[in-house]
A and B are shown apart, each in its own frame.
Chain A
């Protein structure tokens, strides 16, 4: 862990040495030839590496989409696995260019931490998991329980709020690594494991006996998870934000990875603007006209990304907050015009 201290100290030192004039992240990234993207070490559905170190997940695909827009190459991205604790220092020190790591958009992070959120890739909420044999059916029965939590998260803060407002005591058992949290829970150190409910669903399958555990019905918080960038670089902020919107805009107008080439011939002006056939929207974000075409060609639209990554971990999209606004969900893009 002394290594961690060194990393943080180095991070702090780096934030000193990168001079303020270097706020042109796009130029830096283009000069490097790749995008450096901070992700979770391993959360199935969001970001996890396979045995050949190929990463997958929606957080990963978002970074690939950015790389596609900038380089026309979804592989021009390197991933930095970060714990919850390390992530913000890594971003503000310049170690990574974009943070796409199951990170909740909150006011303090969006303002006081010197970073800006650019969109909501996944609307989530915090839940609880318990062993079935405890006989607990509601989070309100958890008074005096030992609760396993990852440190440096909103999870920690929400749990404190929830137990305090419901007049319950609890014993927080806090680790810095999700792996350790899961292991400690599996070993019976805690009665309860709490985190974002999507991750809870995914982590259940990494337990020794998934069927012996259940997720309680209560969702105790709003966790809009999305990418963020350093404050003070408006162009980079716009790129990050509009790459996300392009994923949604494409889905709304029926442009997907399979049909994007056909769609180049579409008569629909919205599609023509999105794909750069009409207008020069790319130049507004310092990119070529076909920036969004590249994103859809290489990575797909939001539905493609969701089905590829989140559907397999068993989280239904239809009827959820993550459905497109046209079907009653919250995923909504301002028009490209």
Chain B
């Protein structure tokens, strides 16, 4: 009798264990973890066996081998004798170049579009709407092909290049050629002067805001700052003896040499990314502004705030809280979309490293892994910066 009661008790505690939510959640998590680890182990095992069966070597040693191919556009010195590791760097830099320039330009254009769409001017608002609706709804790849092939075709050939700015700038189907303003070493002083003015401007702004808060008196810090920004570096320029040493693009037998050259692949990719992403940013900005209820504006008005202050102190800070999180995703999208470069031959990391270097070295797994890590790092960095910014502008409760 006593025994069977004990059995009953045991069974009850076992079944209660199964029905215990805490135990269950742990058990399932451990099970899932085991399955994942097992799956991962199986994949690694299989890869190694298969690679061995095909007599393939693995590892990252190949990175120090000579790449043997050339790259058409690079921010750092590169030649056929460079290594695969250098290909990797060239690719990252080219990706960063287009992503960062793209983010800055897309943000500017996007804010203009978002505000334009809310404009009380019917034509401006309509134009912004048409732009956004068309651009958002055409796949980016098609737009890139359009910018590259359609626009390239309409450009004049090298020998009949468009001459702009009195023969200093040339535009043709090989790209845009600009004079290269090399300055002498005294230019360093000018750069220092600009940096000082920028830092000074920051403190000037803080000081003038505090002054308004304390005394109610305004100080026109923006015009003062702009004047300083022009006057101080100019004076430094003359005092330090800085000089331009401009090199102009010149036509030789086939192409323009010298000056700064922007290949059409870069220009087309940048255009495509900026125009496409700006449409989405425009919508984000519009949503942010609309989200600030009109009661806020009215309250600010009844407090007697001027037009500008109402925008700067009441509407924009609240709108930014809505704008920044989706803006971050747009930045991430732009960076990742830049991998479409491969379609129009811009040497970004996917093109030169995951494409050419992978193919020439045969190290598929290693190369794909490294490329994924680059995008992961870029995305996490962007998110980190934007989250930090978001935290700064977030609602501070008093």
CB within 8 Å of B: which residues of A?
Answer: 1-2, 4-5, 8-9, 11-12, 15-20, 23, 84-85, 88-89, 92, 108-109, 111-115, 134, 141-146, 151-152, 156-157, 159-161, 163-164, 170-176, 180, 183-184, 187-189, 191, 230-232
| Residues A23 and B72 in contact, CB atoms below 8 Å apart | no
A2 with B340: in contact, given A84-B359, A180-B345, A191-B254 (CB under 8 Å)? Answer: yes
Interchain CA distance A85-B345 in the complex, whole Å: 13
CA distance A156 to B49 in the complex (A): 32
Extra contacts besides A151-B356, A157-B360, A175-B345 (16): CB < 8 Å = A1-B141, A5-B339, A16-B43, A16-B50, A142-B254, A144-B255, A146-B254, A151-B355, A151-B359, A156-B70, A173-B263, A174-B356, A176-B342, A176-B355, A187-B152, A231-B55
In the assembled complex, how far is the CB of residue B38 from the closest CB belonging to chain A, in whole angstroms?
Answer: 14
B141, A174: Cβ atoms closer than 8 Å: no
Q: Does A184 lie within 8 Å of B345, measured CB to CB?
A: yes
With a cutoff of 8 Å between Cβ atoms, the chain A residues found around residue B351 in the complex are 151, 174, 176
Q: Which residues of B contact A20 (CB under 8 A)?
A: 46, 49-50, 52-53
Q: Which of B85-93, B232-240, B362-370 contacts A (4 or more CB under 8 A)?
A: B362-370
Secondary structure call for the B interface? helix
Chain B residues with CB below 8 A from A12, complex form:
364-365, 368
- Which B residues touch A172, using CB under 8 A? 69-72
Bound-state CA distance A113–B55 (Å) is: 8
Interface contact A17-B46, CB-CB below 8 Å: yes
A8 contacts B56, C-beta separation under 8 Å: no
B117 within 8 A of A: no
In the complex, the chain A residue whose C-beta lies closest to that of B252 is A144
Chain B positions within 8 Å of A, measured between CB atoms, are: 43, 46-47, 49-57, 68-72, 79-80, 141, 149, 152-153, 157-158, 173-174, 252-255, 257, 263-265, 339-340, 342-345, 347, 350-351, 354-356, 358-360, 362, 364-365, 368
Q: Report the nearest B residue to A94, measured CB to CB.
A: B50
Can you pick out 27 interface pairs between chain A and chain B where the beta carbons lie within 8 Å of each other?
A1-B340, A8-B354, A8-B364, A15-B47, A15-B50, A15-B51, A16-B50, A23-B53, A88-B362, A89-B358, A89-B364, A92-B56, A108-B362, A115-B54, A144-B253, A144-B257, A156-B69, A157-B80, A160-B68, A160-B80, A164-B80, A172-B72, A174-B72, A180-B344, A180-B345, A184-B152, A191-B255
Q: Which residues on A sit within 8 Å (CB–CB) of B52?
A: 20
Give the residue of B50, B57, B157 whose beta carbon is less than 8 angstroms from that of A188. Answer: B157
List chain B residues, Cβ under 8 A from A230.
54
Nearest Cβ on chain B to A40's Cβ, whole angstroms: 15
Instruction: Note all chain B residues with C-beta closer than 8 A to A17.
Output: 43, 46
Measured CB to CB, the nearest residue on chain A to B156 is A188
Instruction: Determine the distance from Cα of A159 to Cα of B80 in the docked complex, in whole angstroms.
Output: 10
B359–A152 contact, CB under 8 A? yes
Pairwise interchain contact A146-B255, C-beta atoms closer than 8 A: yes
